[in-house]
Amino acid sequence: MAKKIANNVRLGLFVLSGLFILILLLYMIGKSQNMFGAKYTLKARFENVQGLVPGNNVRYGGIVAGTVKDVHIINDTTIEVVMLIKLAMKDFIRQDAVASIGTDGLMGNKLVNITPSGKPAPLAPNGGLISSKKPVDTDEMLRLLNSTNRDIAIIADNLKQTIERVNNSTSLWSVLEEPAISDNLKASLLNARRSTEQVSNTAADLQLLVRGVKEGRGSLGAILTDTTLSRNLNEAILKIESVGVHADSLSEQIGVLVTGIHQDVNQGKGVAHAVLKDSTMVHKLNNSLRNIEQGTAAFNENMEALKSNFLFRGYFRKVEKRKAGKSDKLAGKDTNQNLSNAN
């Protein structure tokens, strides 16, 4: 009997111990899930929660701040996540904080990360809605990575084929091994270097020329910098313009004069018209000139006859002697002048 009582006591203690341990475990689990202690709620809305379920953790700045209470659909493009946040975090989470969905580690459970904006803003109230940002879609990233891997495989295969073709190309290697090509390449590089030096020297000379022009050296510099020369050039240009105006006026006057002469010749009654247009007047002038020539010839004959006449023969001899004397005097003067010059 006593032994049976002892066994019952042991059994009761064992059961009590098991219940205590179970209660302790439930308390610890509930504490980690924020089932115990003061709390308040915050909300965030997403287009895709990527498998987020109630009970997942909520972190603020990397610290566990609460758990996900509920996930429900509002419409075909919006899903609302209700979060249970520790009351101790109420003095830190503000309305401009941003919620995003991440993972606990590389392949862990989904969780909600709340990131502070770092700007002054009022604290988020109980039941308040905070903004969210589009989470990184792991499936889309894997699809993109798979597509990238395929493209890389294709590129690697094409590169492999190209390298094999280059290795198997005897003509290409013969060209590369030709010593004349390297010599020509060296010569081309040397010519390019010389051309570059010439261009550099030309640029330096041009810079010196421009500097000289700026400083007023040379004709161009004087034209560009000397105000007196510029003023003289302006005056010369004005005079040239004035001469051009006078030339235009003179040409107009000459044109009027030529027009008048042309009209007088063609239509007038003056001497020019009579000489150039009247054939009768021309015939008369020709006759007059012919008569003058004949009269002159007859006068010369008469003068010769007078020279032979005994009445006028002495006079003409005196005239000839006088002319001869003047000629001798002139000849003597020229001789004396030549002698003086020679001395």
Question: Tell me, what's the pLDDT at 275?
Answer: 57
Amino acid at 336: N
Question: Tell me, what's the pLDDT at 45?
Answer: 93
Distance CA(93)–CA(40), nearest Å, equals: 12
Q: What is the pLDDT of residues 268-278, one digit of tens each?
A: 555 555 555 66
Determine the distance from the C-alpha atom of residue 331 to the mean position of all C-alpha atoms in its chain, rounded to a whole number.
90
Percent of the chain at pLDDT above 90?
14
Helix spans in the chain (H)? 2-32, 138-168, 170-177, 179-215, 218-225, 227-267, 271-277, 279-308, 313-342
Question: Tell me, what's the pLDDT at 284?
Answer: 74
Residue-averaged pLDDT of the chain = 78
Q: What is the pLDDT of residues 181-204, one digit of tens each?
A: 777 777 888 888 888 888 888 888
Contacts of 94 (CB under 8 A, 6+ apart): 116, 117, 121, 122, 123, 124
DSSP class of residue 105?
S
Instruction: Give me the mean pLDDT over the 11-27 stretch.
Output: 79
Q: What is the pLDDT of residues 24-57, one digit of tens each?
A: 776 666 554 545 557 899 999 999 888 899 989 9
Determine the distance from the C-alpha atom of residue 61 to the mean position of all C-alpha atoms in its chain, rounded to a whole number.
49
Instruction: Give me the mean pLDDT over the 313-323 stretch.
Output: 74
Distance CA(322)–CA(44), nearest Å, equals: 149
Question: Tell me, what's the pLDDT at 112?
Answer: 92
Tokens 């032994």 identify what position?
A: 3
Does pTM surpass 0.95? Answer: no
Q: pLDDT: is 245 or 130 the higher one?
A: 130
